[in-house]
Amino acid sequence: MSVSDIQPAPNERRPATAGMPKLHMAIFAVLFVLLAVLPLLVYPVFAMKVMCFALFAAAFNLLLGFGGLLSFGHAAYFGGASYVAAHASKVWGWTPETSILVGTLAAALLGLLIGSLAIRRQGIYFAMVTLAFAQMFYFFALQADFTGGEDGIQSVPRGSLFGIFPVDSNEALYYLVLAVTFGGILFLYRIVHSPFGQVLKAIRENEPRAISLGYRVNRYKLMVFVLSAAFAGLAGATKSQVFQLASLTDVHWSMSGEVVLMTLLGGVGTVFGPLLGATIVVTMQNYLASMGAWVTVIQGVIFVLGVLLFREGIVGVISRWIKRPL
Amino acid sequence: MFDLLGIPPQVLMGQLLLGLINGSFYAVLSLGLAVIFGLLNIINFSHGAQYMLGAFVAWMLLEYLGINYWWALILVPVIVGATGIILEKLALRRLYHLDHLYGLLLTFGVALIIQGLFRNYYGISGLPYSIPDQLSGGQNLGFMFLPNYRGWVVVASVIVCFGTWFVIEKTRLGAYLRAATENPTLVGAFGINVPLMIMLTYGFGVALAGFAGVLAAPIYSVNPNMGADLIIVVFAVVVIGGMGSIMGAIVTGFGLGVIEGLTKVFYPAGSAVVIFVIMAIVLMIKPEGLFGRNN
C-alpha cells in the first residue's frame, strides 16, 4: 500500500487541530524537563520502565481512542519486538538503535499480518480475534527455538549507541530511552492530529458515512493497526534493552490486559491519559510487588470501577473540568 | 486392526477421545457464551474464571462439607449461576446502554479479581479431585480402552448441549428468548419481563460454565489458571462458529476438539495453534463465521 492510496481527502480542509495547542506544548515541555532530571530523583530503571509502558499505552490508545478498535492482543507486538530486539543484540551483536529498529519493524510486520485478518470483524469479535492471534503468537514464543522458551532471552548486552557511545550504565541508557519514547509519543501525537488522524476519527464516529464519502475505511483501519503495532513494538524493543531480557511475560495475554487498563485508567482518546495511566499502573506494580496475586485483584477492581463509574479516565475528567482537550 | 498412515489405531482413537473431551468443554463453554451474547450482546470474558469457579466450588463442597460429585453436579451450577445473577444485577445491567466493549472490559476485570483471589488462597499448584467411585475404571472396547469417567464427560456434555438447544429452539420459553434477542422492546410491550429474562439468561450461561467446571475437576487438576487459557481458545471457537446459532456453537465446539485431537496425532507441534490457524482461514473465507449471520 502506498501512502497516496490512503490519502484521498479531496478538498480536505486544514484540520483545526493542525498546530499544537499551547497547553499541550506546555505540558510536553514540563514533562520533558521533569523526565530529564528524573534519574536524580528515582531509580533510572524504574523511570525507564514507566517511559516504555507510557509509549506502549500511547500506541494502544492510537488504535482504541482514535481508531475505535479494541485490540486485546497488543502483547504480541510489544513482546514480539522485544524478542527480536533482544535476539539482534545478543546473537547478531547489533547496536541498540538497530536492534530497536528491527524489533519495531518486526512488530509492524506482525501487525500487518494479524491486522489484515482482524479488521474483517468488528467490535467484540475484533477484540476476540486479536486476543486469539496474540495467544497463537504466545504459543509460538513458547515453542520456537530463538525465543528460549520458558527462560526467554537473558543477559542481552546493551552495547554502544551507533557503535560509539556505550550505554551500559543506567544513566547513559536513560537518555536514549527518553529520546526514543518521548520522540515516539510526539510522533503519535502528530499522527492523531494529522489529516490521517481526522479521517480515523470520522471512521470511528460514523463508519458508513466515511465509506460514503469515498474513504477506503479498511485501509485506514489497517494502517492505524500497523502504526499502533509498530509503536507498541518500539516500546517493547526498548524495554528489552533496558531489562536486558525478553520473556514470555511480555507476550502473555495479561500484558494485553494491562495496556488496556493503563489506557482506560488514564483516559481513552486523550493525549496524556495513557501516559498517566501507565505511570500509575507501573508504580502500583512496583510498590505492591510483594503482595503477589493481590496486584491482579487490585487491577481487576480498577477495571470494574473504571468501567462502571469512571469511563472517561483521570485525564478525561480533568479535561472536562477545565473544558479543554488534554 | 490395521494401521492408518502408520498410526496405530489405539493412538488414533486415544487422541480422538481426548479431542472429543476437549471438544465437550469447548461446546459447553461456547454454548454459554452464545446464549449470553444472544440476549445481552456482550462477550462474557469472565467465562473462564466462572468455569474455574465451578471446579473450585465442587472441590470445596467435597473438602469442607463432604458433598459428593453427583450433588456438586447439581449444586455448583446453581451456586455459580447465582454469582452470575448478582454480577448482572449489580454491574452488567448498568452497561447495556453503552458500547458493548464495556461489557467485555468489565467482565475481564471480574475475571482478574476471581483468578487473583483464588491464586492468593489456593496457590497455583492445583488441587486433586478424585473421580467418583461409580465412574472409576473403564471399558475395553477391543480397539481401545475407554475410561468410564471420560465417556461420561462426553455423554453429559452432549445431554446438556442438546437440552439447552431444545429449550431455546423448541419451547415457549425459548421462543420468548429468541424474540427478545431480535427485539427486546417489542417483547417487553407484550408484557414479558425482559430485564428478568436477561438476568436469568446470564445466570444460566454462567451456570453452564460452572457445570463444565465440575465436569473438568476430576480430569484436570483444580487450579486458578485452568480457565484463563481455555477461554481464549473458546473465543477462537466462537469466532469460527459465529454466535448466531446455538447448534452452530455446539457443532463447532465438538468438531474443533476432534480436529485438535487429530492434529496431536499427525502433527503434534501444531496442536496448540491449530484452532487459531483455522480461525485465520475462516476469517479469510467467511469472516462472519461458519454458522454466523452477516450483520
Query: For the segment A150-160, what is each residue's pLDDT rounded down to a tens digit?
Result: 888 888 888 88
Residue A112 contacts B, CB cutoff 8 Å:
no
* Chain A residues within an 8 Å CB radius of B276: 132-133, 135-136
Report whether pLDDT(B66) > 50: yes
Please state, in angstroms and rounded to a whole number, the distance separating the CA atoms of residues A321 and A249: 38
* Chain B residues 127-166 with CB within 8 Å of chain A: none
Instruction: Give the residue numbers spanning the domain of A59.
Output: 3-14+38-252
CB A26: neighbour CB atoms within 10 A? 11
Give the mean model confidence (pLDDT) for residues B173-181. Answer: 88
Most confident region among A82-91, B94-103, B125-134 by mean pLDDT: A82-91
In a domain, A65, yes or no: yes
In a domain, A260, yes or no: no
The three grid cell numbers given for residue A313, joined into one nine-digit string: 479516565
A324 — phi, psi (to 5°)?
Answer: -140, 145
Structural domains of chain B ordered from first start: 9-122+146-285 (1.10.3470)
In a domain, A218, yes or no: yes
A297, closest residue in chain B (CA to CA): B113
Average pLDDT over chain B reads 89
B288 — phi, psi (to 5°)?
Answer: -80, 0
In a domain, A154, yes or no: yes
In a domain, A286, yes or no: no
**Is the distance from CB of A103 to CB of A81 less than 8 angstroms?**
yes
Query: For the segment A72-128, what is each residue's pLDDT rounded down to a tens digit?
Result: 999 999 999 999 999 999 889 888 999 999 999 999 999 999 999 999 888 888 998
Confidence at residue B124, expressed as pLDDT on a 0 to 100 scale: 84
Q: What is the DSSP letter of B43?
A: -
In a domain, A320, yes or no: no
**Is the distance from CB of B44 to CB of B282 less than 8 angstroms?**
no
Contact A131 B109 (CB under 8 A): no
In a domain, A68, yes or no: yes
Q: Output the CA torsion sign for A315, A321, B100, B25.
A: positive
Please give the tally of structural domains in chain A: 1
Confidence at residue B111, expressed as pLDDT on a 0 to 100 scale: 95
In a domain, A271, yes or no: no
Q: Which pTM was predicted?
A: 0.89
Of the candidates A67, A71, A58, the one whose C-alpha atom is nearest the C-alpha of residue A202 is A67
Residues, chain B: 295
CA distance B68 to chain A (A): 30
Please state, in angstroms and rounded to a whole number, the distance separating the CA atoms of residues A249 and A251: 6
* Chain B residues within an 8 Å CB radius of A307: 95, 102, 105-106, 109
